[in-house]
Chain A
Amino acid sequence: EVQLVESGGGLVQPGRSLRLSCTCSHFTFGDYAMSWFRQAPGKRLEWVGFMRSQAYGATTEYAASVKGRFTISRDDSKNIAYLHMNSLKTEDTAVYYCARDRTTVNIRLDPFDVWGQGTLVTVSS
């Protein structure tokens, strides 16, 4: 069964950094773009960003709310996607999810067919 497992969440002070991991299994990880989303308490799901596969240059796109502070990377040898979060703000408090594109074709007109269970990040002093 295809599986994505997020880890690395926790309590962090404003202005500090945190790295989340998304460990993937039972599919060819390197063929897929990987995305990150978040859901703050009582709010709708919000797209954070994605990284294309190496076949498409491993380029990234980010939401305006995190651009310049968050960075997505990937280690295809370990089947892990990362979300590096810097200069954290209280409004970054949320459950963070990683997800896989439904297909390996980089047309970006694709939903997200497999999601992890999420990891909670709390930004508070």
Chain B
Amino acid sequence: ETVMTQSPATLSVSPGERVTLSCTTSQSVGKNLAWYQQKPGQGPRLLIYDASTRATDISARFSGSGSGTEFTLTISSLQSEDFAVYYCQQYNNWPPYTFGQGTKLEIK
């Protein structure tokens, strides 16, 4: 099973700041990695797939990069609606599909 590790667990930031979230995989997943945003009481929302492709209707302030075992999600200028939990997920080595433990963005 491919183990996903996200860092940091929690990030306290101010609106307007630029943030970078990290995701490391225990074995190579190529570029078959996605990022999701989840808010309380909602299902995950796909932001980025294939490591760097924005999903439909996702703002250009979200960008992804990486390949192999190291990936990042960058939010260029945090808006109030961006405070949420972010998960990475690999879809290269299945079963099972696996997720990171999440990074929570909170308002400083």
Which residue numbers of A lie inside 8 Å of B, CB to CB?
Answer: 4, 35, 44-47, 61-64, 97, 99, 102, 108-118
Contacts and interface: CB of A to CB of B under 8 A. Distances in A.
Interface in B9-58: 32, 34, 41-46, 49, 55-56
Interface residues of B, number: 24
Contact of A109 (B42, B46, B91, B98): B91
Contacts of A111: 34, 46, 49, 89, 91
B89 to A, nearest CB: 7
Contacts, number: 62
State the majority secondary structure of interface residues on B.
Answer: loop
A44 B102 contact: yes
A62 B94 CA distance: 10
B100 interface: yes
Nearest to A98: B43
Interface of B: 32, 34, 41-46, 49, 55-56, 87, 89, 91-92, 94-102
A47 B95 contact: yes
Contacts of B56: 113
A109 to B, nearest CB: 5
A108 B44 contact: no
A47 B46 contact: no
Contact of B45 (A4, A47, A115): A115
A115 B85 CA distance: 15
Contacts of B100: 44
A63 B91 contact: no
